[in-house]
Amino acid sequence: MNGKIKAYMQKTTEFWKGRTLAQKSLIAGGTAGAILLIVLISLFAAKPEMVPLYENLTPKEAGQLTEELNSRGIQYDLSNGGTTILVPEQNADQLLVELAAQGLPNSGNIDYSFFSQNVSWGMTDEEREIIELDALQTELANLMKSIDGINDANVMINKPQDPIFIGEQTGEASASIVIHTDYGYQFRPEQIRALYQLVSKSVPNLPTDNIVIMNQNFEYFDLENSDNFIVGNTYSNQREIKNDIEREIQREVQRLLGTMIGNDKVVVSVTADVDFTQENRTEELVSPIDTENMEGLPVSVERITETYQGYNAQSFAPVGTGDEEVPNYPADDGTGESEYEMMKETINNEFNRVRKNIVESPYKIRDLGIQVAVDNTKPGANGEIEYLTAQEQETVRESISSILNSIVQTSISKDYETVNPEEKVSIVFQEFQGKPGLQQSPVSGIPTWAYIAGGILLLAVILLIVLLLRNRRNQAEDTLEETEEISTVDIPLLDDETEENEAAMRRKQLERMAREKPEEFAKLLRSWMAED
């Protein structure tokens, strides 16, 4: 056993001594890197993955939880300023159940579960009212915290005292609420109205006028101004919308004309007048069912017919001179034989009745102006600048005008008066004195960073070649020294067995040199042949 160990140690020593300095450095560095990598992998594998157990905790709640985790010996981390507790993933679910069974985290607020746990016959009415009010505030705060955009809420409710006498009226309650919103979150008007209605319906006899809601930055959410487009930001939003419309039209026109003429040959400017009026109206329309005869659909018909024939027939016509009687002439006394007939018809028609509730969009382009400047120069045959002729300018003007007139006519709303597109378009031909840097013709060639990267790469290649040449020179010197030592070794005259052992060892050394260092072995053969 010891012999094998010594043989392994000898082989290892010979292998290490046979390596060059560069090879020794490479082996040592690779071994150290592998060990370091194994250590890092072991550390990361041993560290458990941490997941959030609770978030948005108060300092009191975080203290309760950390004390409980320390007593159990469970590893945990704190983040987000101590408001979030992280625990190992394999323990998260079990901890949630066990801590909830213990009533942790306990914020100290009273909710409706307090009554089922602490009901006693000795509780007075005043104590019950105070606990009930605190529970109502807590439940309302928890209800608001479940809304998207609200992280926390503090509610203060002031309830009036119950009237003592029957004739007294019950006073109105009031509420003050502070909500902690997410950074940059904007509430829409309908969300503000929903918050007011939520609080008003949760507390008895609480009108919306007695509710005050603000955020942690003392920004007041006003119910009266919630119908506005955006509270406090109407002007900035309208200006932003107007600029977006102008920018979009300008970009499309610039792209279209740039494709036809060239991006460096045309500049476009757009001005728009946007109507932000939001109109809500109701229309009640009545139309006939039979449009040809302009008649409705009969839904009820009543016909009355009276006929009489005989003596002394009395007509039910109005008293007075008839159409066929002569004034101041005795009329028929009606004692003879006569006839009487009356027909009456009543028809109730039904028509189409349409009721429309129309909400007009507040974004309508009322007026639009497009200004275009065209470069009136072009490169000549000899590279000189030439100016466009009047005919060429007129051709370009007609082409651009037809496109811009169509854009203006389709962009302006039809609700306004008829627009003449030619009055909204202006085209000017002018020689451009300066051009934007982004639109200049690209400079051919390799960028500067490519030269820098190439220089660094070339320097690294040169350094590598120098190191390789130096390494080869050192190897050649070592080989020459070994060759001289081998050639100058004096072999003493021993008995036959010793000579055979030395010959076998020398043969093994030569075979190993031929396998591992063929170049040095070739040099050794050449030196022996030169000596012979």
Instruction: Provide mean pLDDT across the span 50-62.
Output: 81
Instruction: Provide mean pLDDT across the span 386-411.
Output: 89
pLDDT of 176: 93
> Which of 359-368, 448-457, 486-495 ranks highest by mean pLDDT?
359-368
pLDDT of 8: 73
For residue 13 the two structure tokens come to 């020593």
Instruction: Provide mean pLDDT across the span 60-85.
Output: 85
pLDDT of 230: 46
Residue 455 has pLDDT above 80, yes or no: no
Confidence of residue 40 (pLDDT cuts 50, 70, 90): confident
For residue 291 the two structure tokens come to 């449009």
Residue 444 has pLDDT above 60, yes or no: no
pLDDT of 53: 83
What is the C-alpha to C-alpha distance for residues 524 and 519, in angstroms, rounded to an integer?
9
Query: If you write DSSP's letter for every residue of 313-334 in order, what string do you get?
Result: PPP-SPSS--TTSPTTSPPP-S
3-state class (DSSP) for residue 150: strand
User: Can you give the pTM of this predicted structure?
Assistant: 0.35
What is the C-alpha to C-alpha distance for residues 98 and 117, in angstroms, rounded to an integer?
19
Domains belonging to the chain, first-starting first, are 50-101 (3.30.70), 113-232 (3.30.300.30), 248-278+360-437 (3.30.300), 281-316+334-357 (no CATH), 458-486+499-531 (no CATH)
Instruction: Provide mean pLDDT across the span 317-328.
Output: 51
pLDDT, tens only, 341-361: 888 888 888 878 888 887 777
3-state class (DSSP) for residue 199: helix
174-181/211-215 β-pairing: parallel
* Closest residue by Cα to residue 479 from 525, 511, 446: 525
Residue 112 has pLDDT above 70, yes or no: no
Query: If you write DSSP's letter for every residue of 124-140 in order, what string do you get?
Result: -HHHHHHHHHHHHHHHH
Of 93 and 227, more confident = 93
pLDDT of 268: 92
Of 297 and 207, more confident = 207
pLDDT of 179: 92
Q: How many CB atoms lie within 10 A of CB 524?
A: 20
Average pLDDT, the chain: 77
Q: Is 83 left (phi over 0), alpha (psi -120 to 50) or beta?
A: alpha
pLDDT of 231: 45
What is the C-alpha to C-alpha distance for residues 404 and 230, in angstroms, rounded to an integer?
34
Confidence of residue 432 (pLDDT cuts 50, 70, 90): confident
pLDDT, tens only, 128-141: 788 888 888 888 98
